[in-house]
Amino acid sequence: MKSKNLLIGIIGLLVVMVLAVFLLFKDNSTLVSAQEFEGFLHSSDGGAKNVWIDDDYIYLQLAGKYYKTARATFALSDLTDFPIKLKSHMSFGKVFSGIGFLIVIAIGLAVLARALFLMFGKQPPLINATTSVPFASRPLSENPDKLDESPSPASPITSSVKFEDVAGIKEVKEELFEIIDYLKNPKKYQELGIALPKGILLVGPPGVGKTMIAKAVAGEAGVPFFYQSGSSFVQIYVGMGAKRVRELFSKAKAHAPSIVFIDEIDAVGKARGENRNDERESTLNELLTEMDGFEESTGVIVIGATNKIDVIDEALLRSGRFDRRVYVGLPDLDERIQILEVYLKGKSHALNLPEVAKMCVGFSGAMIASLVNESALNAFRRKSPLIESKDIAEVKDKVALGKKKIQSFSEKEKNILAIYQSAKAISAYWLDVEFDKLTLMGDFILDIDKEVLSRSEMNNKIKVYLSGTIALELVFDEKYTNAREDIKKARQIAKEMCEEYAMASRILTNEADISEILTLAYEEQREFLANSKESILLLAKKLLEKEKLNREAINEIIRVF
């Protein structure tokens, strides 16, 4: 490389020398006729000052300019009054040429100096074919081309959001209050030997306010808040993602107590092994290490948010990392009313909020915000000073269908959902299958981690997942598409019973054995639900009114029968 730089410098210097010689010997005189030349000799401004002669031309200098004429056409006798000099091979017009010559020489010296600097100066570290560390995996400070120019982790944010600013998450607030109290008064807990939870995972569909909840926790506790998206850790170059994780936690520890919020954590926390990606795995390993006990992270709480908990690596979900999982569901009727009140604040309207809330079954907080804004625009287009019910009705489908068609329900569909969910709840109640609360939408059956399960327990869970379909057949004599996910879960349990746990009638099983387990559970549960039809309808009616019922409310209804 050094010899190459020197060669370039020498070639450059030679080119400069050729240019210099060209300028030096270039003839810059203007060729004129003999008559013009004679006129210049005797011009009124003093005439020629110097006259030169060679074999072909006669030259003169006049007012700083140079002229020549053919020697054969000019009478030399006219030059008797002028001192004549012989011109060898020197050209004229050297005022300009001299300046140009100096410029060219300066350029040549600069080229040579640069070549010598590159030859003997300090070189940046280079990676050759035998180097074990790839070029792009080195730290950014050692990478001269700066292939990765992503910014370092953000500076801490002082959140001004409070829980009173976030409507419709009453149960979530209750779960997080002790975390806030710990951040405010850590000594009180430390004296009792209570450790700070390492991580909290917010799980829920898009738009339910997971980011706002994290900001509210930071705002209530009055601690610094570090926000990062999971995708910001996913780098092309090996080692860069892990480096960003270390930098983030280093800053968070320096500002402890503090909160690190990683949005869409599934982007970096996907299960390892399948579709192997060394960079993503090294980043995940670094995140696991930072959250684990191998490195002290006292005073730093990690809050993650995802709507795809099923794809997250099990090591990230185990105790000691994300100690607590908080499920943030779609808002129920009362919560939707609260959210509407927040977004309608400062807007003139003539709306019956409970009625509007009933029209928005399946809407997230973000969708309700969009609904209010679209309704206000619709009222503006009508030149109305008030948002009215017809504005809501006109834009509701646009907001709902633009997000996901299934989130828009008619009264008949809501009645179908209520009966379906009520049948599952009553079956779970009598079959001792764990559940927390009954909701109009979504799966409310808890997936309890147990090392040892009996055949009866697995069979009872199958019956619960089949109960909604059976109830709709009993009430409407019809089957509906909303059973798809539950049927899939029931079949998966039956398949595990046959293929993994040998719980079928035969050791070596096939599809017929899976079908036998499902058919038997279906028939037994149909007989049970046929005798519980009245309690299902009563519970469904109550569910339509509230959209969410806790276990105590279900107990009261069931006791009636």
pLDDT value for 138: 36
Cα 1 to its chain centre, rounded Å, is 42
The DSSP result for 185-242, as a single string, is: -HHHHHTTTPPPPSEEEEE--TTS-HHHHHHHHHHHHT--EEEEEGGGG--SSTTHHH
Instruction: Just give the CATH number of 333-405.
Output: 1.10.8.60
Q: Select 411-559's CATH number: 1.20.58.760, 2.40.100.20, 3.40.1390.40, 3.20.20.100.
A: 1.20.58.760
For residues 201, 203, 208 and 213, what is the CA-based torsion angle, rounded to 10 degrees?
A: -10
| CA–CA distance, 383 with 386 (Å, rounded to integer) | 9
List the single range of 255-259, 277-281, 306-310, 418-422 with lowest mean pLDDT: 277-281
Q: Read off the pLDDT of each residue in 505-523 and give the average, rounded to a whole number.
A: 91
Contact 526, 470 (CB under 8 A): yes
Task: Give the other-Cβ count within 10 Å of 30's Cβ.
Answer: 13
pLDDT value for 137: 35
Instruction: Name all contacts of 192-195 with Cβ < 8 Å and 24+ positions apart.
Output: none
| CA–CA distance, 388 with 378 (Å, rounded to integer) | 10
Q: Read off the pLDDT of each residue in 346-366 and give the average, rounded to a whole number.
A: 85
Domain with CATH 1.20.58.760 in the chain: 411-559
Q: Please, what is the angle between helix 511-530 and helix 411-430, to 10°? A: 100
Instruction: Name all contacts of 107-112 with Cβ < 8 Å and 24+ positions apart.
Output: 107/16, 108/12, 108/13, 108/15, 108/16, 108/17, 108/20, 111/9, 111/12, 111/13, 111/16, 112/9, 112/10, 112/12, 112/13
> Between residues 251 and 278, which one has the greater pLDDT?
251
Residues paired with residue 199 on neighbouring β-strands, in sequence order? 302
Backbone angles phi, psi at 292, to 5 degrees: -85, 180
Cα 539 to its chain centre, rounded Å, is 43
pLDDT value for 526: 94
386 DSSP assignment: S
Q: Read off the pLDDT of each residue in 313-333 and give the average, rounded to a whole number.
A: 80
pLDDT value for 518: 95
Residue 497 pLDDT class (50, 70, 90 cuts): very high
User: What percentage of the chain carries pLDDT values higher than 90?
Assistant: 15
The DSSP result for 286-338, as a single string, is: HHHHHHSTTS--TTEEEEEEES-GGGB-HHHHSTTTS-EEEE-----HHHHHH
Domain with CATH 3.40.50.300 in the chain: 163-327
Q: What is the mean pLDDT of the chain?
A: 76
Q: Read off the pLDDT of each residue in 44-53 and give the average, rounded to a whole number.
A: 63
**Which amino acid, residue 507?**
I
List the single range of 46-60, 188-202, 336-350 with lowest mean pLDDT: 46-60
Taking CA atoms, 418 is separated from 237, 294, 485, 497, 536, in Å, by: 51, 49, 16, 30, 9
Domain with CATH 1.10.8.60 in the chain: 333-405
- Tell me: pLDDT of 307 over 80: yes
pLDDT value for 513: 92
pLDDT value for 470: 96
Domain 163-327, CATH 3.40.50.1360 — does that match? Answer: no
Tokens 């430390």 correspond to: 190
